[in-house]
Amino acid sequence: MSARVSLALIVLASLVLTSARAAAPVETVTPTFSHAIPNMPGKSLIAALVTYPPGGASPAHAHAPSAFIYAYVLSGEIRSQVDDAPVRIYRPGDSWYEPPGAHHTISENASRTKSAKLLAIFVVNTGEEPLVLPDRTKGARP
């Protein structure tokens, strides 16, 4: 799969997630990198900048079944919960990961007055789509 196709699919997934929350501020996902990993046949590295406006949030979701995600907070404060772990607030320089099959139940800006940004890095089977699987109903696993 080409880098352009992967990046376009990230943007499409973001649009799908954001359409579910038209009344509330939503995140903006900007693809930044996509490349096959040469020493890991069948795996690709994909990165995206996720920007939350004040009060912005992502709907609950999971990712492609093979996806291992590393998230690094660049600015602001991000409130997050993965699976049954406690809800945490992450600040610039903080990070977390989501193992394959994880359910990301909360992902939102902790501030109502300042924006927040994180870098999301995926290690995923090359060509696996979609990268984001939104929940169909609140609280349900995708």
CATH of the domain at 122: 2.60.120.10
Instruction: Find the Cα–Cα–Cα–Cα dihedral 122, 106, 74, 17, rounded to 10°.
Output: 60
The whole domain housing 30 covers 3-134
Q: Is residue 23 part of a domain?
A: yes
The predicted structure's pLDDT at residue 21: 44
User: What φ, ψ does residue 129 adopt, rounded to 5°?
Assistant: -140, 155
Q: Which residue shows structure tokens 């992502």? A: 58
Q: Is residue 98 part of a domain?
A: yes
The total domain count for the chain is: 1
The predicted structure's pLDDT at residue 141: 46
- Tell me the average confidence (pLDDT) per consecutive run of 10 residues in the chain, 142 residues long: 55 49 76 96 97 96 96 98 96 97 95 97 95 71 46
Strands 43-52 and 28-36: antiparallel
The predicted structure's pLDDT at residue 25: 83
Q: Is residue 142 part of a domain?
A: no
Residue 52 has which token pair?
């939350």
Instruction: Find the Cα–Cα–Cα–Cα dihedral 11, 27, 82, 134, rounded to 10°.
Output: -50
Q: Is residue 139 part of a domain?
A: no
The predicted structure's pLDDT at residue 68: 97
Distance separating alpha carbons of residues 29 and 49, to the nearest angstrom: 6
Residue 121 has which token pair?
């890095």
**Three-state DSSP state, 13:** helix
Q: Is residue 85 part of a domain?
A: yes
Q: Is residue 79 part of a domain?
A: yes
Residue 34 has which token pair?
């996509």
Q: Is residue 140 part of a domain?
A: no
Q: Is residue 34 part of a domain?
A: yes
